[in-house]
Structure 1
Amino acid sequence: MNRSDNSNRRAAQPGTVHGTAATSKAGSSGDRARLVLAAILGTLAAGCSVGLLATSAWLISRSAQRPPVLYLMAPAAVVQAFGLGRAVLRYAERLAGHDAALRLLADRRVRAWDALARLAPAGLGDYRSGDLLARLVSDIDSFADRWLRVRLPYAVAAAVGAGSVALVGVLSPAAGLVLAATLVVSALAAPLVAIALSRREERLVAPLRGEFAAATTEFIEGAAELAAFRADARALAALKSKEARLGAAAIRSGYARGAGAAVSALAAGAAVWGAVFFAVPAVRAGALAGVLLAVVVLTPIAVHEVFGGLAPAAQEVPRLRAAAARVSDVLHRRAPVAEPVVPAPLPQPPYHLAVRGLRAGWVPGRDVLRDMSFDVPSGSRAAIVGPSGSGKTTLAMVLLRFLDYSAGTVTLGGRDLRTLDGDAVRSVIGLCEQDAHVFDSTLEANLRLARPGATTAELRSALAGARLLDWVDALPLGLATPVGEHGARLSGGQRQRLALARVLLADFPVVILDEPAEHLDEATAQDLTRDLLTAVEGRTVLLITHRPVAPGTVDQVLRLDGARPAAGYDEGSVVRSSI
């Protein structure tokens, strides 16, 4: 695969993302139509429930008069129709509602992942991994609850309540007014009671869930270190404490839910007794037929069953708002890099890299790199050497357009990086970092991240360049060998070489090697660094390291000391540079 093919493949990615977003946006009208359909089906299903009880009440009363059986066949058929219709319509309502909600949820999840791609890695430093995972899973899942557990129940209850009040009001106006009043209590008073008693707890649930997820993730990932320092008991106690806080909030929320349900039950009882109070005198006065008494008295029970779900629905609102705010914080977070509205075309090779007066940092106003200037001609090698915290990785993030710079210029092939699309820049500049992520899969799957369509011969060529091919060939499963989580089945050097093989497979003209020999002993580090530089022969290379660089290894050395470029090294083992 040549460079132009690789560039085209990378450059096509932004268009693909935008197309997906446009498709999702265009399909939102169809999703709303499905939600309207779900509301209609839910109203019909709830109407069947009310109709079933009302018709059954009339049928029982009429049967007590012992009319000819033929007079009861039609009402019996209506009862059967209501019973069957309730089940069928309820299933259809759940199907349509969940289909629409899950489609909207998928759109929201895509937006969240787009935001992650826009923010990563520099814009995500404030989030703990477990908390971020909770935002992207649990909090986004709650978006569907806003439709299914809040809006749909209220829409169905409003329609069914209006119809039921009209039905009872026609038979007994006074009973109809009582029913309307009790429905208002169920729709407003009961939810207000539930919300008032659980507002704080519901708002705390989403953040507490995020804290618990973050603590759990850290406990699992650091289990070995915790056990080694005998800190596992303390960490487990802290984890249990967070779980207890989350459970206590859920219990208090349950108490509030019960209070709301109690108010709804009292309102239903009041509706029944109110109907009895007004309907019985109406029957005695001849204003209401005796067979309709049971209809007036029992219909409120079915209606209040529909309204009984409104208090729990309203109680969800504070939790859903808190979850939505946590997701919105990610979606609307300011990107660490401002992409150009109309990107300039990617320059053609050779790719000369020039930095002039560069100032950059992770926190606005606190630059780690200050007044940095250097040149790396195409095909040459430069070493960026300095202690931890001097800005070496910051420089790599700037060159990869993962981090913006506050002053100065950085040009690639004579074109300012700020005028180029970030994905286009990363199709030219590749990073082999010290802690490159290795997925819990096979060697082949980890390699194909760089180029999914690579042939086996190309995979083997990349492994050979990284000095891994002989080792892979000696494995019983070869390329199909599982590497374990985070590459646990590989040594530190093998993980680094696998990361280099991915970079070689992607065929980047400019390669940044960020601390490639970190955590290795001096001899192994020198051998690995020499092999890595040999593998990227002919490319423009920036070697980022805190170790002294052997003479002849690179063409020039830039020393970072106190976040400022220095003239060179005093150590004899380091090539002097006038940078």
Structure 2
Amino acid sequence: MKTFIRLLKIIGSAWLTMLIAAVFGCLTIGSNMGLLGVSAYLIASAALHPSISELSAAIVGVRFFGIVRAVFRYLERYISHDATFRLLGTIRVWFYAKIERLAPARLMEWQSGELFSAIVGDVETLKEFYLRVLAPPFIGIVVLSAACLFLSQYSMSFVYLLMGAFLMAGVLLPILVQTIQKNSASELVAVRSELKAQLVDSMTGIVELAAFGQTERQAQRIDHIHQRLLYLQSKVSKLSGLIDTFGLLIVNSTVWLTLWLAIPLVHSKQIEGVYLAVLVLIVQSSFEAVLPLPLAVHYLAESMAAARRLFAIVDTEPAVPEVDDGIHNASNISIKVENLSFRYSPEGPFVLNNIHFTVSAGQRVAIVGPSGSGKSTLLHLFLRFWNYSQGSIYLGKSELKKYDAHWLRSQFGVVSQQTHLFNASIRDNILLARPDASEDQFDQAIKHAELENFIGKLPQGYDTMVGQNGYALSGGERQRIAIARALLKNAPILILDEPTVGLDAVTEQLVMATIEKLMAGRTTIMITHRLTGLHTMDEILVLSSGRIVEQGQQAELLANKQLFYQLWRLQHDVL
């Protein structure tokens, strides 16, 4: 029930539009009942050979109901689907906004395929909730009331018969559906989501699967899930067929019982003979309002399962709680770390252990060390992607936890080792850092990132599409785009996270020369295990097993002949 209420709350201001659509649904069925009833009256009356003037009202009625039925049906479908699709768009934006605050710490608990399935598949499933679950009960009650009011003019026995039939088709049959399907709807949603997640993961890692000869095995795994999905869908189809059978049985039985009740009334002159067919067709056509109810139970179960999956994700507490009235300015752009210890889980080992250092405004500091020493963890803590509980990190005179997270991140320009490029143009990928940048600011960023020659050779220039994750670009070109982003953002603090990883020696030197320009006048922290270009750093921190084991400038550290010296010799093949 809690999930159901939450789905209703999401409707928000759209409830009036959906109510209007439901009203048009009632009018559509009502006009269909009117069309059949008036048509039956017209045909029955015409058999008595009256004058045309006596039939004129019925003729006009047939035309009227025939036209308005089509108009009402169109309006009902248009309004309901338009409102629903707009609502689904709102839900997707809402869901994305919710999971954005979980990134990246808590999102690691789900596969990317699971999240894709949720934002696409599960949200799409909710379409049935708003189209096929909410409206049918309302329409059924309104149509039943109108039909009973009409039938009561002839005999209350028709009213009791129709109410009993609606009770069977609209209440007992849905209960039967719920009993038969049990957990099938929830399982169907889960298996459908699992299949989408597997497909996304397989497409993402298709190169690795091919390289290790595992494509056939992965295909078999997907086929197994697909077969399970087909089995569940087959059960739903059989259930739908069973519902249709019972529904038709109820409708036809009610029609025969209506005839059985009406014929004696005609014989006794309590009802005119021309109304016999009218009563039968009114009763028969009224079932259009109640027959969707049994399947609405199935769609309700599917929608609840999909909603529970969505709410399970959005209800996850972010790793970094939002700060009310967070600070939006800093006294100075310096960073101070005091007695900082951190681990990713309460049971896990410490990744950082009693770290303390200071980066003054405008200073260049490199943090180096072997893989797994905790270098990148510091970046995550600076950007408030993870929350620390032991020790302190200060920006200026205030601790990071007191700053507004969005403002804090705006103070950092990041060039990472895994620069993500969207499947968009070069221009759009660079403007990601500052969408409102002027053309001159954009051109300056391109110039200082030394992208002019490269872009000038492209047929479409800045508007060239880079492909999924920038597959059309080389590693050096990708990094230069990342540098252009950082230049355009023009943040006072620059963080370089393995900016030359995976590049050849020549490209590395070119990229480092560009980075040298980027660092000018900025507080800079370079995180790297590649010991190149460090002679320009004001200070180097050497991390090992989460601790700072050395600290100083390059010449000093080489002279000490400790860990930094050993790493230097390994990388420069001096051994």
CA distance in 2, matches of 1:574, 1:129: 36
- Tell me the CA shift for residue 404 of structure 1: 1.3
The whole-number CA distance in structure 1 between the counterparts of 2:533 and 2:23 is 76
Q: Which whole-Å CA distance do the structure 1 matches of 2:32 and 2:567 have between them?
A: 85
- Would you say the 8 A contact 1:169–1:177 is kept in 2? no
3-state SS of paired residue (1:110):
helix
Tell me if structure 1 keeps the 8 A contact 2:542–2:564: no
> What is residue 124 of structure 1 aligned with on the other side?
107
Structure 1 residues 175 and 390: alpha-carbon distance in aligned structure 2, compared to 1, 3 A threshold: same
Matches within 5 A, 1:568-579: 568=551, 569-572=562-565
CA–CA distance in structure 1, aligned partners of residues 12 and 448 of structure 2:
52
Identify which of 373, 377, 385 aligns with 1:390: 373
1:360 aligns with 2:342: yes
Residues 574 and 223 (structure 1), Cα distance of their counterparts in 2 relative to 1, 3 Å cut: closer
Partner of 2:130: 147
* Cα RMSD, aligned residues only: 2.4
Structure 1 CA distance, aligned partners of 2:92 and 2:472?
33
CA contact (8 A) 2:542 2:549 kept: yes
Asked whether the equivalents of residues 370 and 564 of structure 1 are also in contact (C-alpha less than 8 Å), the reply is yes
Letter in 1 for 2:565: G
Which amino acid in 2 is paired with 1:292? Y
Using the alignment, how far apart are the partners of 2:284 and 2:344 within structure 1?
Answer: 62
Partner of 2:134, secondary structure, is: helix
Q: For structure 1, which segment, 146-155 or 219-228, has the greater mean C-alpha deviation from structure 2 after superposition? A: 219-228
Partner of 2:101, secondary structure, is helix
Deviates more, 1:465-474 or 1:440-449: 465-474
8 Å CA contact 1:261, 1:311 repeated in 2: no
* Unaligned ranges ≥5, structure 1: 1-24
The partner residue of 2:144 within 152, 158, 161 is 161
8 A Cα contact 2:366 2:534, kept in partner: no
Question: CA separation of 1:138/1:78 partners in 2, compared to 1, >3 Å: closer, same or farther?
Answer: same
Q: Structure 1 vs Structure 2: percent identity of aligned residues?
A: 32
Equivalent in the alignment of 2:91: 108
Q: Does 1:565 align with 2:548?
A: yes
What code does the residue aligned with 2:117 have?
A
Cα displacement string for residues 203-247 of structure 1 (whole angstroms, at most 9, x for unaligned residues)? 122222222222112222222222222222222222222222222
Q: Displacement of 1:461 after TM fit?
A: 2.7
Choose the corresponding residue for 2:476, options 493, 497, 503. 493
Preserved contact between residue 355 and residue 375 of structure 1 (Cα < 8 Å): yes
Amino acid at match of 1:313: A
Match of 1:279 among 252, 262, 285: 262
Please state how far the C-alpha of 1:27 moved relative to its aligned partner: 11
Q: Distance in 2 between matches of 1:104 and 1:415?
A: 42
The aligned residue for residue 180 of structure 2 is 197
Which deviations, in whole Å up to 9, do the C-alpha atoms of 1:151-176 show, x marking residues without a partner?
A: 11111111001211232233232232
Q: Is structure 2 residue 471 aligned with structure 1 residue 478?
A: no
Matched, 1:519 2:519: no
Aligned-partner residue type, residue 310 of structure 1: L
Count of matched residue pairs: 550
**How far, CA to CA, are the matches of 1:95 and 1:203 in structure 2?**
30
Between 1:453-462 and 1:519-528, the stretch displaced more is 519-528
- Aligned 8 A contact 2:37 2:281 in 1: yes
**Aligned-residue offset at 1:483:** 2.1
SS in 1 for 2:152: helix
Q: Which amino acid aligns with 2:45?
A: R
Residue 241 (structure 1) aligned with residue 234 (structure 2): no
Once the two structures are superposed, residues 404-428 of structure 1 have per-residue CA deviations (whole angstroms, 9 ceiling, x without a partner) of 1122211111111111111111111
**How far off its partner does 1:524 sit?**
4.8
Question: In the alignment, is the contact (CA less than 8 A) between 2:177 and 2:298 conserved in 1?
Answer: yes
Structure 1 counterpart of 2:355, from 354, 360, 372: 372
Q: CA deviation at 1:279?
A: 1.5
1:68 alignment partner, one of 51, 70, 77:
51
Is the 2:425–2:463 Cα contact (8 Å) retained in structure 1?
yes
- Counterpart code for 2:365: A
- Structure 1 match to 2:407: 424
User: Does the CA contact (< 8 Å) of 1:386 and 1:392 recur in 2?
Assistant: yes
Q: Deviations over 1:278-313 (max 9, x none)?
A: 212222233322222212222221011221111122
DSSP 3-state at the match of 1:125: helix
Q: Which whole-Å CA distance do the structure 1 matches of 2:338 and 2:34 have between them?
A: 79
Q: Does the Cα contact within 8 Å between 1:438 and 1:486 map onto a contact in 2?
A: yes
Contact 1:504/1:536, CA 8 A, preserved across alignment: no
- Given that residues 421 and 469 in structure 2 are in contact (C-alpha distance below 8 angstroms), is that contact kept between their aligned partners in structure 1? yes
Match of residue 134 from structure 1: 117
Counterpart in 1 of 2:25? 42
- Deviation by residue 1:249-291 (Cα, 9 ceiling, x = unmatched): 2121111111122221111112112112221222223332222
Shift of 1:551: 5.2
Q: Secondary structure at the match of 1:50?
A: helix
Q: 1:440-451 counterparts in 2 under 5 A? A: 440-451=423-434
Q: Which AA in structure 2 matches 1:51?
A: G
1:185-264 alignment runs, 5 A limit? 185-264=168-247
Report if the CA contact (8 A) 2:422-2:467 is conserved.
Answer: yes
CA distances 1:303-337 after superposition (whole Å, capped 9, x unpaired)? 11221111122210111001111111232221121
1:95-139 CA-partner distances (Å, limit 9, x unpaired)? 222333334333322321211221222221122222211211222
1:14 matched residue in structure 2: none
The TM-score normalised by the length of structure 1 is 0.89
> How far apart are the structure 1 equivalents of 2:259 and 2:237?
33
Letter of the structure 1 residue corresponding to residue 455 of structure 2? V
* Inter-partner Cα distance in structure 2 for 1:248 and 1:516: 50
C-alpha distance 101-550 of structure 1, shift in aligned 2 (>3 A): closer
8 Å CA contact retained: 1:193, 1:259: no
Q: In the alignment, what sits opposite 1:99?
A: 82
Distance 1:290 1:187, change over 3 A: same
Please show how residues 542-557 of structure 1 align to structure 2 within 5 Å.
542-548=525-531, 552-557=535-540
Q: 1:323 aligns to what?
A: 306
**Conserved? CA contact 1:339–1:418, under 8 Å:** no
Pair 1:269 & 2:252 matched: yes
Unaligned runs of 5+ in 2: 1-7, 552-561, 569-575
| Distance in 2 of aligned mates of 1:339 and 1:27 | 23
Name which of structure 1's ranges 235-244 and 69-78 shifts more when overlaid on structure 2: 235-244
Partners of 1:549 and 1:573 within 8 A in 2: no
Q: Distance in 2 between matches of 1:512 and 1:371?
A: 22
1:420-463 Cα shifts (integer Å, max 9, x gaps): 11111111112211111112222222111122233444334323
Which of 4, 28, 34 is the matching residue for 1:51?
A: 34
Aligned equivalents of 2:566 and 2:544: distance in 1? 18
SS of the residue 1:379 aligns to: coil
Residue of structure 2 in register with 1:11 after alignment: none
With 517-526 and 190-199 compared, the bigger mean Cα shift is at 517-526
Residue 73 of structure 2 corresponds to which residue in structure 1? Answer: 90
Kept in 1, the 8 Å contact 2:33–2:281? The answer is: no
* TM-score, normalised with respect to structure 2: 0.90
Q: Which residue of 2 aligns with 1:13?
A: none
C-alpha distance in structure 2 between counterparts of 1:449 and 1:548, whole Å: 30
Pairing partner for 1:414 from 380, 384, 397: 397
Contact 1:352 1:412 survives alignment (8 Å)? yes
What's the CA shift for 1:490? Answer: 1.3
Conservation of the 8 A alpha-carbon contact between 1:551 and 1:574: no
- Change beyond 3 A, Cα 1:446–1:60: same
**Structure 2 counterpart of 1:173, from 156, 160, 168:** 156
The 3-state SS of whatever aligns with 1:437 is coil
Asked if the contact 1:44–1:89 (Cα under 8 Å) also holds between the matched residues in 2, the reply is yes
Structure 1 stretch displaced more, 425-434 or 192-201: 192-201
Cα separation, partners in 2 of 1:506 and 1:288, compared to 1, 3 Å: same
* Preserved contact between residue 387 and residue 561 of structure 1 (Cα < 8 Å): yes
Q: Could you tell me whether the CA contact under 8 Å between 2:493 and 2:524 is conserved in 1? A: yes
